[in-house]
Structure 1
Amino acid sequence: MSGLILNGRYDLHTHTQASDGMNAPADNVRLAKQKGLAGIAITDHDTVSGIREAMEAGKLIGLDVIPGVEISTRAAGKDIHILGYYLRYEDETLCSRLEHLRTVRETRNERILAKLNELGIPITMDEVISGLGRELGPDDSIGRPHIADVLVRRGVVADLREAFDKYLAEGAAAYISLPRVGPMEAITWIKEAGGAAVIAHPGLYEDDDLVRRIIREGQPAGIEVYHSDHGPEEEMRYSGMAREYGLLMTGGSDYHGVRQGQVFHGDLGSRTVSADVLEQLRSRSGRQ
């Protein structure tokens, strides 16, 4: 398959400044090259705005960049993320759908800040945006990690983990959930944009019955078996599930960069897959 280093490794889950990562897309590409990877996927939350920069950087230094996205969905009272690979990232219908999701995310952010204000922590969106240290792009996405940064800087919490555990994680004091697209619809969006859909980090949902239902009804191409928050037990369980349903076993670090001195979720390249997985992903997309 052209462009692939057959003996190389690929990290299929990385985030950039286009959503809640710390690095510019080109910086993720350069870091991957330094670490000896053959390629990475750019999978920002509900936006594809970082892909073009990353792909141009990849061409310059000889690193494969797989266009991707991570779509935020809701099912059975849980946040479920669906990854898409090799999709037509400039497809007008896809971009319009993602823009709507970012609008929902913006509303959620404002309500989280309102909740924090009710709890005696007066944070504004202007403060969150100013903390980025850069201009916010029109298709960029603000997320909870950006709000967590402010909580740490203000000394409200000691670190990002405490920010999520105390205020921002599901069930925490300032957590807000709004109606969102369902995972099956997100899978359909990815397929309609010519991509291959994958269920992200299933171990985080703590509901394998739900994961199985998404597999049966949505018919994704794969499941993310290897993830920074999966231990050996989860890897064994989801590799078995992948074999049971004939799914590809994908993996990635979920790298967001370094925040407050911590790598969140995992370091780039800490979870990888072989080029064979890339070939199979592409063959199951509409981009053969």
Structure 2
Amino acid sequence: MNKRADLHTHTRASDGTCEPQENVRLAQEAGLAAVAITDHDTVAGIPEALKAAQRGESAAAVEVIPGVEVSSVARGQDIHVLGYFVPYEDEAFHEKLRGLRETRHERNKLMVARLQELGIPITLEGVYRRKTGEDKNIGRPHIAEELIELGAVKSIDEAFAVYLGKEGKAYVNPPRISPQEAITLIKEAGGVAVLAHPGLYDDDELVKELIVFGLDGIEVWHPDNMREQRELYQRWAEENGLVMTGGSDFHGWRGEEPFHAMLGSHTAPYDAVERIREIAKKRKQASFG
């Protein structure tokens, strides 16, 4: 049996549009053996996803991998590092993630100010009304939604191409932790550090630097990795003994279309989960040794 896992999905805990239990249901419907909840700089969606998986029928049971996607910056652009089997109930780990979210908030303020300078009547209050609760984990997709509502753009893609992407008119990147620091944060917490969507960065020298620094794995199968890139990252993973992971980067729906891709459309073999679990187990044992 060819068991598969989608190891990169987002929920409403960050910038996805689905509740965590919906991600679990979609994973079941896709026939997956496992799904990772990897929200940006938060683990708030994991408990509900685990409860949903426990409620599922045994014949369609889906394993939920507790994860996070840590935001960092290198050479002027966002670099994301996925962490798997992180201590999602540990308050010290929560506190570290809280600091990353505060940096995200500062970035949102700078982007909104830049958009206002460009003549767009956007406000921070208008963006933040899209999330309820004290932990408002707001990101660029929420700003994009507000731009659509204001008539400044017609789609999420246009919002990123014109304003919010790394070549956009309103793109800003305040000081953040480096990807090396993100890797260290994840590994010191007992998790497993995997570089997310390396094909997006257009900087394979950086990818090689991070491999040497201590990555545990590379996200080979991702909707934004082209075929040649997948082949390259697969070869580097094999040469360096790294785990090869894959995921859809599912963020729910923007209109009628799934964003980035439909959950289950990009996956890794289940043995990637087993390798990740073993690395995390050894790391935790070493920390208590």
State the TM-score, normalized to the length of structure 1: 0.93
Distance in 1 separating the partners of 2:160 and 2:269:
33
> How do residues 1-288 of structure 1 correspond to structure 2 at under 5 angstroms?
7-61=2-56, 62-130=61-129, 132=130, 136-217=132-213, 219-285=214-280, 286=283
Shift of 1:150: 1.1
Could you report, residue by residue, the CA deviation over 1:160-203 in whole angstroms, capped at 9, with x for unpaired residues?
Answer: 11100000001311111100001111111111211110011111
Matched residue of 1:65: which SS?
Answer: strand
Could you report, residue by residue, the CA deviation over 1:64-96 in whole angstroms, capped at 9, with x for unpaired residues?
Answer: 100000000011222110000011112222211
Is the alpha carbon distance of 1:32 and 1:51 closer, same or farther for their aligned partners in structure 2, counting shifts above 3 Å?
same
Shift of 1:126: 2.1
Shift of 1:51: 0.5
Task: Specify the code of the residue in structure 2 equivalent to 1:240.
Answer: R
Matched residue of 2:113: which SS?
Answer: helix
| Structure 1 unmatched ranges of 5 or more | 1-5
State the TM-score, normalized to the length of structure 2: 0.93
Shift of 1:221: 1.0
Structural RMSD (CA): 1.4
Matched residue of 1:95: which SS?
Answer: helix
Distance in 1 separating the partners of 2:136 and 2:33:
27
Could you report, residue by residue, the CA deviation over 1:212-243 in whole angstroms, capped at 9, with x for unpaired residues?
Answer: 101111x1210000001112111101101111
Distance in 2 separating the partners of 1:287 and 1:273:
24
Counterpart in the other structure of 1:3: none
Shift of 1:246: 1.1
Distance in 1 separating the partners of 2:222 and 2:118:
34
Q: Is the CA contact (8 Å cut-off) linking 1:87 and 1:287 kept in structure 2?
A: no
Using the TM superposition, name which of 229-238 and 42-51 deviates more.
229-238
Matched residue of 2:43: which SS?
Answer: coil
Using the TM superposition, name which of 174-183 and 117-126 deviates more.
117-126
Matched residue of 1:197: which SS?
Answer: strand
Distance in 2 separating the partners of 1:260 and 1:275:
31
Using the TM superposition, name which of 222-231 and 89-98 deviates more.
89-98
Distance in 2 separating the partners of 1:53 and 1:177:
32
Identical-pair percentage: 52
Shift of 1:140: 4.4
Shift of 1:11: 0.2
Matched residue of 1:235: which SS?
Answer: helix
Is the alpha carbon distance of 1:68 and 1:150 closer, same or farther for their aligned partners in structure 2, counting shifts above 3 Å?
same
Distance in 2 separating the partners of 1:245 and 1:260:
41
Matched residue of 1:270: which SS?
Answer: coil
Shift of 1:287: 5.3
Task: Specify the code of the residue in structure 1 equivalent to 2:100.
Answer: L
Distance in 2 separating the partners of 1:137 and 1:67:
22
| Structure 2 unmatched ranges of 5 or more | none
Distance in 2 separating the partners of 1:42 and 1:52:
10
Q: Is the CA contact (8 Å cut-off) linking 1:49 and 1:140 kept in structure 2?
A: no
Shift of 1:7: 3.9
Task: Specify the code of the residue in structure 2 equivalent to 1:150.
Answer: E
Is the alpha carbon distance of 1:10 and 1:208 closer, same or farther for their aligned partners in structure 2, counting shifts above 3 Å?
same
Number of residue pairs matched?
A: 279
